Structure 1
Amino acid sequence: MYQQPAPRARGRDALLWFVLVVVTFGGLILAAYLAFANSPPVQVVVATSTAAELAERHPALLQTAVGAQMPDAARDVRFVWRESTGEVAGAWHGDFDPAAYAECPVVPAPERPAYAERIVRVGEAAFDAFECDQLLIARVGATTFAWSR
């Protein structure tokens, strides 16, 4: 014969289930909050075939210190941009005039930006960069690399 649990036992069971559900969902919400609160700022990764295409798709990027260095005839353009923090890095093929940076000091083997490992790929070879007011710019092989400080 089946015996019904006492009303007190049913209340205790209901309370236990309620606490389990609240703790489970609360824990999931807390874990999601911590995961998104510690995530890096959103970054835009841009790759275009020409500078004109970049100007058409992302004109604000050309207003940054790094974007302003890119010549109009640049091709194979790649940028990473964290607008929220102002971090910008770019790489392109095209003209590079070192005389334009004559007033900027030369930095041997500058530290590469951690936020732009996908863009600033220069290998293990040593290179020098010009350290200007808001950016570093270097020519490695046929590619110009520039990133914000």
Structure 2
Amino acid sequence: MKNIRLSETVRGSGCASKLGPGLLDRALCGLEFLADPNVIVGLEKPDDAGVYRLREDLAIIQTIDYFTPIVDDPYDFGQIAAANALSDVYAMGGYPLTAMNVVCFPSENMDISILREIIRGGLAKLSEAGVVLVGGHSVD
């Protein structure tokens, strides 16, 4: 396996790779979004996650997180990515139960063993939190 520094494969690391709020505001400007009285936290006040009321005493917290590598070790990156996603639920006062995995991996440029280590690191962090991985999506 070729020695690859993950942090050197991206333009920006971590949250620095996000679109700026001004650019995102311009893209969303004028679009109509369906309103629902059960949305407790939504687009009108962006936060770490969305919160939707299921019953008076129960709500679901939804989040999706994705960011580029901030470290070079694949296993460490997987752990950091999972911890970052879990922290969004904790930040909203919730308890994560399940998770979905989103993977964008350049399989022509990197050995699949790197992806395996990233996923292994993420699974270790989910296991530590008692969270079950239930699925996901991948892009090459």
Band of TM-score, shorter chain? under 0.3
State the structure with more CA Rg.
1
TM-score (norm 1): 0.22
Q: TM-score, normalised by structure 2?
A: 0.23
